[in-house]
Amino acid sequence: MTATPSPPPGWIVWSLRVLATAHLAGVLGQAALAGFFATGDVDLLAWHQNNAGFTHALLYLQLVAAVLLWRPGRGPGRPALASLGLVALETAQVALGQWRVLGLHFPIGMAIFGLSAVFTVWTWRAFRRRGAGADVSAGADRPSAA
């Protein structure tokens, strides 16, 4: 009989969930600010730039949480790779925005939004215990008495 691997610690899972959700909210804010700027409210360009720095910092924290999930949390390594890919994409996005290369800045922004949304949904669905209906990250990693 093989032993089932223990689930990652709940604090790591919740950290990843909260950071991914906050990052996604920042990305959504970026899209809204860009839209308002594009319609003529030029003052929002500074807000867009400041929100980009904040959102990018959240993504680095998300990467740290994803690495902790993998090592030492003994969880999957794919979230760390996905977060690293988002870091690379978002770094290029920031540079393209600063250089005003909007022909690439806009579609990469849409890709970041889509990928961030998929990643965030994954963080909320991936660590549910199958069969028990319990959330592993909430500390329900012990068998139920029922």
Inside any domain, residue 111: yes
What is the pLDDT at residue 98?
94
pLDDT of residue 15: 97
Residues 23 and 19: their CA atoms lie apart, in Å, by 6
- Domain assignment present for 4: no
Q: What is the mean pLDDT of residues 41-67?
A: 96
**Domains contained in the chain, number:** 1
Q: What is the pLDDT of residue 44?
A: 93
Is 136 contained in some domain? no
- Assigned domain for 137 exists: no
Range 21-42 average pLDDT? 94
pLDDT over 60 at 144, yes or no: no
Give the residue numbers spanning the domain of 56. Answer: 10-129
What pLDDT sits at residue 1? 58
Q: What's the rounded mean pLDDT across residues 71-98?
A: 96
Those residues whose C-beta lies under 8 Å from the C-beta of residue 47, and which sit 6 or more positions away, are: 33
**Residue 139 within any structural domain of the chain:** no
Residue 142 resides in a domain:
no
73, 62, 78, 95: CA torsion to nearest 10: -150
Identify the pLDDT of residue 3. Answer: 65
pLDDT at residue 38, rounded to an integer: 87
CA separation, residue 91 to residues 6, 19, 104, 120 (Å): 35, 18, 13, 19
In tens, the pLDDT along 92-143 reads 999 999 999 999 999 999 999 999 999 999 999 998 765 444 455 544 444 4
Say if 3 falls within a structural domain.
no
pTM of the model: 0.85
